[in-house]
C-alpha cells in the first residue's frame, strides 16, 4: 500500500467541462511539504553604489532577490520590495506602482512631492505616500531616497496587469468522493496532518493552493479519533459538514460542532479536533496559507503532551 505522501497530484476523471478539467487534488500528506528557496540575507552594497554614483541618472535601483527566491516578480523579501531612487537636480521621477503604500527615507538631497497634496522633503525625512496612484518626486538638489513597498504581496494575489489569476474551477461532488476513496487506500506516517483532500488547479498546481494566497482542504476524522494538538501561523475558517459529538479545542476552549456551523482558529493558536461519534466527520477549512507558504512563515508543528 502506498503512503499518502507519495501520491502524485491527482487529476479529475472524465471532466465534463473546462472548469472541471482545471481541478487538481493533493492531500494532507503531500500538500504541506513545499520546499521553497530560502530568503537570502543580502546587503545590496553594489545596488547602493550604482544608485549613488556621481553619474547615475534619475531612476530606480531595485534590491531584487526574486531569482534566488524563485519569485516571478521583483522582490527583496517574499512580501516586500526595497529600492534606491536617484533623482538628479531639476528632474522628476514618475512612479506608477501597485502597492498599498510607499515608505521613503531621504538619504540625501532635497525636493518635493508634486501635485495637489505635495510638500517639500529633505535629508533625514521619512515619507509615506499612497501606492495606488501615479506619483512624481522632483529634486531641487541631487537626491537619493530609499523606498519600500508591498508590491510583491499584491503581485502574489494577482494585482499586477496580465491574465486574470483565478479561472473558474469545478470540483464535482462525485469527483471529490473518488479522490477521498483513493486516499482511503493509502497509509500515513507520523508527519501526516490527518487525512485531508487539498484542492488546487492547473494554474496553481506548483503552489498547491486554490488561489495565490488561500488554501482549501476537506478534512476527515474517523469515529472515535482525534487530530493531535498542533499550530500554524495561518488563520483558519472551518465549516462543519458532517459528524456527531464532534468538537475542537482552540486555545484551551472547547468548541462544539454543529452541521453548518463556522469556527475560527486564530493564527498561531494551539488547537485539536475530536470525533466522539459513530460516523466519520468532515470539515472544510479555508486558510490564508498561501500567503504564509510564500512568506516562509507557515510554522506548522504538532505539539507534544
pLDDT digits (tens, 9 = 90+) for 159-171: 555 566 788 899 9
- Of 31-35, 66-70, 108-112, 129-133, least confident by mean pLDDT is 31-35
Spell out the residues 6+ positions from residue 218 whose beta carbon is closer than 8 angstroms to its own: 176, 180, 196, 197, 199, 241, 282, 283, 284, 285
Q: Which pLDDT value is given to residue 163? A: 61
Q: What angle do CA 161, 164, 167 make, to 5 degrees?
A: 170
Percent helix, strand, coil in the chain, to 5, is 15, 35, 50
Spell out the residues 6+ positions from residue 201 whose beta carbon is closer than 8 angstroms to its own: 22, 23, 24, 167, 169, 210
pLDDT tens profile 127-156:
989 888 899 999 999 999 999 999 998 888
Listed residue (282, 202, 194) closest to 230, CA to CA: 194
DSSP-derived secondary structure for 192-248 = --SEEEEEEESTTTTTT-SSSS-EEEEEEE-TT-EEEEEE-SS-EEEEEEE-SSEEE
Tell me the three cell numbers of residue 132: 495606488
* Fold matches, 4-36+164-302 and 45-76+81-149: yes
Q: Which pLDDT value is given to residue 162? A: 58
- Among the four given CATH numbers 2.60.40.10, 2.40.50.140, 3.40.630.10, 2.60.120.10, the one describing domain 45-76+81-149: 2.60.120.10
Q: What is residue 57's three-state secondary structure?
A: coil
Interatomic CA distance for residues 23 and 25, integer angstroms: 7
Tell me the three cell numbers of residue 131: 501606492
In CATH, the number for domain 4-36+164-302 is 2.60.120.10
Distance of CA 297 to the CA centre of its chain: 9
Average pLDDT over residues 61-81: 93
pLDDT tens profile 238-252:
989 999 999 999 999
Tell me the three cell numbers of residue 21: 478539467
Interatomic CA distance for residues 98 and 280, integer angstroms: 46
* Distance between start and end Cα atoms, the chain: 30
Spell out the residues 6+ positions from residue 236 whose beta carbon is closer than 8 angstroms to its own: 264, 265, 285, 286, 287
Tell me the three cell numbers of residue 295: 512568506
- Of 7-16, 84-93, 255-264, least confident by mean pLDDT is 255-264
List the chain domain ranges: 4-36+164-302, 45-76+81-149
Strand partners, 143: 87
Please state, for a pLDDT cut of 90, what percent of the chain lies above it: 63
H/E element holding 50? helix 45-51
Amino acid at each position: 500500500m502506498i503512503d499518502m505522501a507519495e501520491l502524485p497530484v491527482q487529476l479529475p476523471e472524465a471532466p465534463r467541462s473546462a472548469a472541471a478539467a482545471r481541478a487538481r487534488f493533493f492531500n494532507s500528506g503531500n500538500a504541506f511539504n513545499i520546499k521553497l528557496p530560502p530568503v537570502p540575507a543580502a546587503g545590496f552594497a553594489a545596488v547602493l553604489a550604482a544608485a549613488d554614483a556621481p553619474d547615475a541618472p534619475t531612476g530606480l535601483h531595485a534590491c531584487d532577490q526574486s531569482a534566488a527566491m524563485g519569485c516571478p516578480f521583483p522582490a527583496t523579501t517574499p512580501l516586500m520590495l526595497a529600492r534606491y531612487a536617484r533623482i538628479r537636480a531639476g528632474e522628476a521621477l514618475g512612479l506608477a506602482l501597485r502597492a498599498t503604500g510607499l515608505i521613503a527615507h531621504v538619504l540625501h538631497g532635497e525636493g518635493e512631492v508634486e501635485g495637489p497634496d505635495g510638500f517639500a522633503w529633505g535629508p533625514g525625512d521619512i515619507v509615506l505616500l499612497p501606492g495606488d496612484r501615479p506619483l512624481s518626486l522632483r529634486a531641487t538638489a541631487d537626491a537619493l531616497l530609499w523606498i519600500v513597498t508591498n508590491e510583491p504581496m499584491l503581485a502574489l494575489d494577482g494585482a499586477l496587469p496580465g491574465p486574470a489569476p483565478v479561472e473558474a474551477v469545478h470540483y464535482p461532488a462525485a469527483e471529490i468522493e473518488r479522490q477521498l476513496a483513493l486516499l482511503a487506500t493509502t497509509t500515513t506516517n507520523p508527519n501526516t496532518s490527518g487525512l485531508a483532500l487539498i484542492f488546487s488547479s492547473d494554474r496553481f498546481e506548483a503552489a498547491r493552493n486554490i488561489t495565490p494566497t488561500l488554501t482549501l482542504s476537506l478534512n476527515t476524522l474517523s469515529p472515535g479519533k482525534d487530530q493531535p494538538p498542533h499550530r500554524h501561523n495561518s488563520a483558519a475558517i472551518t465549516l462543519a459538514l458532517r459528524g456527531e459529538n464532534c468538537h475542537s479545542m482552540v486555545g484551551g476552549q472547547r468548541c462544539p460542532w454543529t452541521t453548518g456551523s463556522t469556527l475560527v482558529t486564530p493564527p498561531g493558536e494551539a488547537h485539536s479536533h475530536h470525533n466522539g461519534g459513530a460516523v466519520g466527520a468532515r470539515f472544510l477549512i479555508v486558510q490564508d496559507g498561501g500567503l504564509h507558504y510564500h512568506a516562509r512563515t507557515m510554522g506548522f508543528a504538532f505539539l507534544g503532551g
